[in-house]
């Protein structure tokens, strides 16, 4: 992604065996109004596209919160860049999006889709061969890369400056994998955190000396925390996609989103949403 200077990102291999945690809460991401069997015409649109929804009248989407500005809670609602993009798909089907907060590994492994907990998964998810083998994934909707964040006065400018120190990484992400892959050469210890908020707050508190994660989320964090700085970028060449079930309705949901994404990029809606969350239009 090209939010500020460059960058792209994240979430890495999700060990299938680790998938056991339960769904924690369910949140409505967009506008009100219950729907079920009364969805009528909207169900017809989904059916016409060959899509069987896990919950009638809803596009149910699993994610792991928070991951600002892609998906996070604002009051009782879940908002963000990814949410807005999937709202385009929901609107095209004539239904509403409902967000389910769940362990990230359940999304990347496909367990959440197999258990019929959701129709799609979002989370600024990097497309990797391992994930492509486990789930259906949309066309790339954004570029990203990994970055290093530390306190502005820490003197840390690169991974090599972390020798003998602690580097925080988010579990089940490509950032964690990048941190692990470079730990031995740079002599630091990787400290895993379950979510972004824990990771960033532990850098601020000094429990860890720096954090590695996607450019989008860490540049967003330093905007509101002037004592912190993104000190290095790593050209990991990642791209984000949304996930779905490997077979059944999954490929059809993915195909429908790809149509919606192509239209949004041609009519300017994608750029409008991008600027709303990142303050600039995407690089061409």
Residue 100 phi, psi (nearest 5): -115, 125
Q: Among all chains, which residue has been given the structure tokens 């969805």?
A: 39
User: pLDDT for 105-134, tens place per residue?
Assistant: 999 999 999 999 999 999 999 999 999 999
pTM across the whole model: 0.82
Average pLDDT, rounded, for the chain: 88
Say how many C-beta atoms besides its own lie within 10 A of residue 91's C-beta: 14
Chain centroid offset of residue 191 CA: 21
In the DSSP assignment, the letter for residue 209 is S
Give the up-direction half-sphere exposure of residue 107: CA atoms within 13 A in the CB hemisphere: 31
Mean pLDDT of 222-250: 96
Domains annotated for the chain, with CATH where assigned, are 50-143+239-278 (3.40.190.10), 144-238 (3.40.190.10)
pLDDT confidence of residue 95:
95
Share of the chain above pLDDT 90, in %: 81
Q: Sign of dihedral through CA atoms 113, 25, 77, 6?
A: negative
- What tokens does 223 get? 């905007």
């Amino acid at each position: 992604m090209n939010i500020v200077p460059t960058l792209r990102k994240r979430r890495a291999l999700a060990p299938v065996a680790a998938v056991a945690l339960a769904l924690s809460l369910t949140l409505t991401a967009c506008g009100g109004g219950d729907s079920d069997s009364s969805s009528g015409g909207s169900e017809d649109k989904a059916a016409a596209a060959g899509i069987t929804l896990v919950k009638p009248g809803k596009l149910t989407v699993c994610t792991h919160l928070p991951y600002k500005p892609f998906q996070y809670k604002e009051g009782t609602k879940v908002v963000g860049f990814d949410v807005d993009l999937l709202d385009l798909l929901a609107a095209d089907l004539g239904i509403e999006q409902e967000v389910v907060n769940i362990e990230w590994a359940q999304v990347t492994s496909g367990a959440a889709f197999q258990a019929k907990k959701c129709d799609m998964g979002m989370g600024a998810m990097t497309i990797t061969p391992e994930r492509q083998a486990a789930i259906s994934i949309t066309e790339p909707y954004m570029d990203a890369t990994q970055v290093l964040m530390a306190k502005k006065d820490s003197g840390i400018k690169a991974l090599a400056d972390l020798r003998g120190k602690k580097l925080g990484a988010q579990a089940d992400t490509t950032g964690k994998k990048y941190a692990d892959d470079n730990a031995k050469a740079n002599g630091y210890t990787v400290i895993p955190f379950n979510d972004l908020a824990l990771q960033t707050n532990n850098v601020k508190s000094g429990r860890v000396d720096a954090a590695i994660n996607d450019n989008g989320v860490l540049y967003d964090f330093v905007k509101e925390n002037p004592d912190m700085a993104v000190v290095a970028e790593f050209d990991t060449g990642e791209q984000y996609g949304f996930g779905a079930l490997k077979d059944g309705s999954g490929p059809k949901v993915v195909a429908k989103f790809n149509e919606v994404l192509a239209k949004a990029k041609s009519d300017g809606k994608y750029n409008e949403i991008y600027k709303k969350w990142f303050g600039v239009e995407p690089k061409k």
